[in-house]
């Protein structure tokens, strides 16, 4: 498979436009009663029309048999091999709340927890405290002064928060403090390598000050930290593809991921109609649009088969708004499967549809898992979607003489 | 994917014979009026008969979405990963005119150009001067004496020529002198690495002598050089596959490429009938034949859909001449697609047909893009074609105990 440096050498800036429509958790499994998946159950005449003119296939987000998290799932769609570009839990947490993390920062995921008088954990989630209370405690922790680093502490939700350290020469090779079980004390941070020793001391100083500040705030009277990580070095989409890319996403994590790879984040309402209105409004200013539809995944996670069906039908009803703009390429796919019958992300490959006037049609007529399995694009890694979209938009020069 | 060293360990020399029939630019796109590609439009009863007995698939010449140049397209067919084995512009130019380039030589592509009194380029192609005049000027430049290298200067066509330097310790890490635009002077050659400094000095001496010699030959009163490269280290096909391979190709570049990988180049006429006569004549002397049919690509590049159809029909009419020789394997494919509607090479995967008595037939009956997309060989990288052909000729031993 071609690598990003090789793509960069042949990518061309042209006026043609690409719309990448991502249904989070698109793929599904059949209901035993009907033998049809969510997508196969949905009435999607506009998607089916694109299938008739375009090509289908099945995308492997990470690797055959592997269930992707949201970050690897999306990195693959943007063309970054998720087995090579790894985003640590801490960075993802910071990115997810739109914290402006910088190269050199180290980030960790934090939990408020409850400890007893001996310092042993009795509740790793501090009774899932109210997000409002979390916010007050984060303000308290943000006042901590450290020798050699500035600290940012920001609320995520309930017991969860993000910590970011900023300073010279910080190193993220640090162990977790969360022992992952009750009845034991939170662990000290240890440096995995000698160069991280100073960073370990800084984090341990933060934790000991936090313990002091939180002493009177039972049940949130202690913290654990895990997933220390730094911003990975990722070449941006404008750099690799010479695109001017924009994201139309409503959930902070996807906006954060899109920003990480160099997209502009467009202001938008949260319904499909509002997201497509945003596309129309900004259509002239960009040549690549990532539209993220969250509803399919949420319905799948909730095990709500019919709600997932309705998400597809609702988006399909508004699809003409995209089609009428006549983008050179429309790619429709997902970051992973979320079958309602499994109530979770899954490893099943994901339907993919590429529409452009340069497609070699494959004679299919319905956007579905079954049709995609027989599609002209075959089975392909998710990282091939960007090269395919670029090719069909005539944005890739010939490779080699 | 297995690598060439691993193939070499298991390849066997046997009397069985393989014919690789390559239609340059084989793959196409449908005419909007008919919905059929060039290949689907052509009447090809003999190819279809082979499909009925053999297996089909779609080949990805370089990587999904990538449009191959001719060199990468053919390297893939011969089993060399074109992302790993890169042939520089200069070497390809020399190989294309059948210059006997050797390991250690460095080659560049040259252009005659026009400069004004200040030395600024006014025409990068010297008015596309006549090839005859080019030949006279190349003889002039070939007389240049250099300290530490012998120089060869050979006409390609119009304003294009090839320069090859031969000597001890030459290094190809040199910058282009072609500024790629008018109104500026040709650049000096710079060494990209310290080890190339002496080579840069030699090339700059060549250029300054060339400037002097050409001064009175307006419009071809200066030169530019680009694509400095040396012969890549490529294990030969006889080495890897233990084959005795021969090429039946009419265009210099494909003959040059075939020679580069260790094939003998057979004398041949240019029609399919003449090329197949050559096959018959030399059939006993070799066990692998690469037959290169250029017409399909030329017709595609010209946007001449019907001419491309006729190329397929003409070759098919003479196909019994191959079939009657009863080779153990006949593989039919292309180095890339050249859809007439695009008038250029394209990224679309290429039809592939493998015929042998050891095929597991896939129930198809027409050699076409649509059939190949449903073929039993699936989608596969072009580099898998040689292992498949070798396997069906029973020329590969078991891998591992």
Residue B222 CA to residue B111 CA, distance in Å, equals 9
Q: State whether B69 and A401 contact (CB < 8 Å).
A: yes
Chain A residues within 8 A of B346 when measuring between CB atoms:
358, 391
Q: State whether B65 and A390 contact (CB < 8 Å).
A: yes
Band of pLDDT at residue B401, cut at 50, 70 and 90: confident
Which residues are CB-neighbours of A243 under 8 A, at least 6 positions away? A13, A18, A237, A287, A288, A395
Residue the block writes with tokens 């979320």: A338
Q: Which residue has the higher pLDDT, B361 or B14?
A: B14
Across chain A, mean pLDDT equals 96
Cβ(A192)–Cβ(A173) below 8 Å: yes
Interface test with A, best of B35, B84, B342, B373 (most A CBs within 10 A): B373
| Minimal-distance CA residue of chain A relative to B369 | A360
Q: Cite the beta strand spans of B195-305 per DSSP E.
A: 222-230, 245-248, 264-265, 288-293
DSSP B25: T
| Minimal-distance CA residue of chain B relative to A384 | B64
- Could you tell me the residue ranges of all domains in chain A? 4-86+233-392, 91-230
Number of A:B CB contacts under 8 A? 83
Interface test with A, best of B34, B77, B347, B381 (most A CBs within 10 A): B347
Band of pLDDT at residue B232, cut at 50, 70 and 90: confident
Cβ(A73)–Cβ(A214) below 8 Å: no
Mean pLDDT of B312-334: 98
Out of A242-246, A388-392, B253-257, B262-266, pick the least confident: B253-257
Residue B290 CA to residue B317 CA, distance in Å, equals 19
Chain A residues within 8 A of B27 when measuring between CB atoms:
360
Residue B148 predicted with pLDDT over 80: yes
Band of pLDDT at residue A96, cut at 50, 70 and 90: confident
Fold category of A91-230 in CATH: Alpha-Beta Plaits (3.30.70)
Strands B18-23, B288-293: parallel, antiparallel or unpaired by DSSP? parallel
CA dihedral A103, A108, A109, A112 (to 10 degrees): -140
Task: Give A367→chain B minimum CA distance, Å.
Answer: 18
Q: What SS3 class is residue B175?
A: coil
Out of B177-181, B356-360, B373-377, pick the least confident: B177-181
CATH fit for domain B4-86+234-392, picks 3.30.365.10, 3.40.50.1980, 1.10.10.350, 3.40.720.10: 3.40.720.10
Q: Which of A360, A384, A396 is the closest to B29 by Cβ?
A: A360
- pLDDT of the residue at B189: 96
Chain A contacts to B (CB-CB under 8 A):
1-3, 6, 10, 358, 360-363, 374, 376, 378-380, 384, 386-391, 396-401
> Of B89, B71, B91, which is closest to residue B80 (Cα–Cα)?
B71
Angle, alpha carbons B221-B223-B224 (nearest 5°): 150
The pair phi, psi for residue B292, each rounded to 5°, is: -110, 115
Centre a 10 Å sphere on the Cβ of residue B209 and count the other Cβ atoms it contains.
Answer: 16
Indicate the helix (H) or strand (E) that contains A203: helix A197-214
Q: State whether A360 and B378 contact (CB < 8 Å).
A: no
Band of pLDDT at residue A291, cut at 50, 70 and 90: very high
CATH class of A4-86+233-392: alpha beta
The pair phi, psi for residue B314, each rounded to 5°, is: -65, -45
Task: Give A73→chain B minimum CA distance, Å.
Answer: 19
DSSP A397: P
Beta-ladder partners of A378:
A57
Q: Which of A361, A374, A399 is the closest to B62 by Cβ?
A: A399
- Residues B236-251: tens digit of each pLDDT: 999 999 999 999 999 8
Q: State whether B63 and A358 contact (CB < 8 Å).
A: no
Residue A363 CA to residue A52 CA, distance in Å, equals 6
Q: State whether A397 and B64 contact (CB < 8 Å).
A: no
- Residues B159-170: tens digit of each pLDDT: 999 999 999 999
Q: What percent of chain B has pLDDT over 70?
A: 100
Which residues are CB-neighbours of B183 under 8 A, at least 6 positions away? B120, B121, B122
Chain A residues within 8 A of B68 when measuring between CB atoms:
398-400
- pLDDT of the residue at B226: 93
- pLDDT of the residue at B253: 86
Q: What ipTM does this complex have?
A: 0.90
- pLDDT of the residue at B246: 98
Q: Give A221-234 as a 3 state SS string.
A: CEEEEEEEEECCCC
Q: Which residue has the higher pLDDT, B128 or A313?
A: A313
DSSP line for B294-351: -HHHHHHHTT-HHHHHHHHHHHHHHTHHHHTT--SEEEEE-SSB--TTTTS-B-S-EE
| Minimal-distance CA residue of chain A relative to B84 | A2
Task: Give A398→chain B minimum CA distance, Å.
Answer: 5
Q: How far apart are the first and last CA of chain A?
A: 19
Residue A401 predicted with pLDDT over 80: no
Q: State whether A388 and B64 contact (CB < 8 Å).
A: yes
Band of pLDDT at residue A253, cut at 50, 70 and 90: confident
- pLDDT of the residue at A98: 85
Q: Which of B72, B88, B370 is the closest to A399 by Cβ?
A: B72
- Residues B297-309: tens digit of each pLDDT: 999 999 999 999 9
Six-digit token string for A238 = 């404008």
> Of B127, B155, B47, B79, which is closest to residue B381 (Cα–Cα)?
B79
Q: State whether B63 and A2 contact (CB < 8 Å).
A: yes
Centre a 10 Å sphere on the Cβ of residue B210 and count the other Cβ atoms it contains.
Answer: 23
Cβ(B80)–Cβ(B234) below 8 Å: yes
Task: Give A95→chain B minimum CA distance, Å.
Answer: 31
Task: Give A328→chain B minimum CA distance, Å.
Answer: 15
């Amino acid at each position: 498979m071609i690598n990003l440096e090789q793509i960069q050498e042949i990518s061309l800036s042209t006026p043609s436009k690409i719309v990448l429509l991502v249904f989070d958790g698109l793929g599904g499994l059949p209901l035993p009663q009907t033998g049809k998946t969510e997508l196969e159950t949905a009435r999607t005449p506009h998607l089916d029309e694109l299938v008739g003119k375009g090509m289908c296939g099945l995308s492997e987000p990470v690797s055959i048999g592997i269930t992707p998290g949201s970050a690897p799932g999306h990195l693959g769609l943007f063309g970054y091999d998720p087995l090579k570009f790894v985003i640590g839990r801490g960075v993802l947490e910071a990115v997810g709340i739109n914290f402006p993390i910088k190269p050199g920062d180290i980030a960790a995921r934090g939990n408020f927890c409850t400890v007893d008088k001996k310092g042993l954990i009795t509740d790793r989630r501090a009774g899932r405290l109210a997000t409002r209370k979390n916010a007050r405690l984060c303000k308290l922790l943000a006042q901590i002064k450290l020798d050699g680093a500035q600290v940012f502490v920001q609320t995520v939700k309930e017991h969860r928060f993000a910590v970011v350290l900023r300073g010279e020469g910080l190193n993220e090779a640090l162990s977790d403090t969360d022992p992952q079980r009750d009845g034991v004390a939170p662990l000290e941070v240890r440096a995995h390598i000698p160069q991280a020793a100073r960073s370990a001391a800084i984090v341990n100083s933060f934790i000991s000050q936090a313990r002091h500040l939180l002493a009177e705030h039972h049940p949130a009277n202690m913290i654990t930290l895990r997933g220390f990580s730094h911003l990975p070095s990722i070449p941006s989409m404008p750099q690799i593809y010479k695109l001017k890319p924009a994201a139309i996403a409503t959930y902070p994590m996807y906006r954060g991921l899109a920003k990480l790879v160099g997209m502009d984040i467009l202001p938008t309402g949260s319904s499909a109609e509002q997201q497509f209105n945003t596309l129309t409004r900004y259509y002239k200013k960009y040549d690549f649009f990532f539209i993220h539809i969250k509803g399919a995944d949420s319905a799948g996670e909730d095990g709500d088969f019919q709600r997932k069906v309705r998400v597809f039908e609702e988006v399909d009803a508004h699809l003409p708004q995209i089609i009428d703009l006549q983008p050179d390429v429309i790619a429709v796919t997902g970051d992973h499967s979320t079958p309602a019958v499994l109530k979770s992300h899954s490893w099943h490959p994901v339907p993919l549809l590429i529409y452009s006037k340069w497609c070699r049609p494959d004679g299919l007529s319905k956007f579905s898992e079954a049709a995609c399995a027989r599609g002209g694009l075959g089975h392909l890694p998710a990282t091939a979607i960007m090269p395919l979209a670029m090719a069909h938009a005539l944005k890739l020069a010939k490779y080699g003489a």
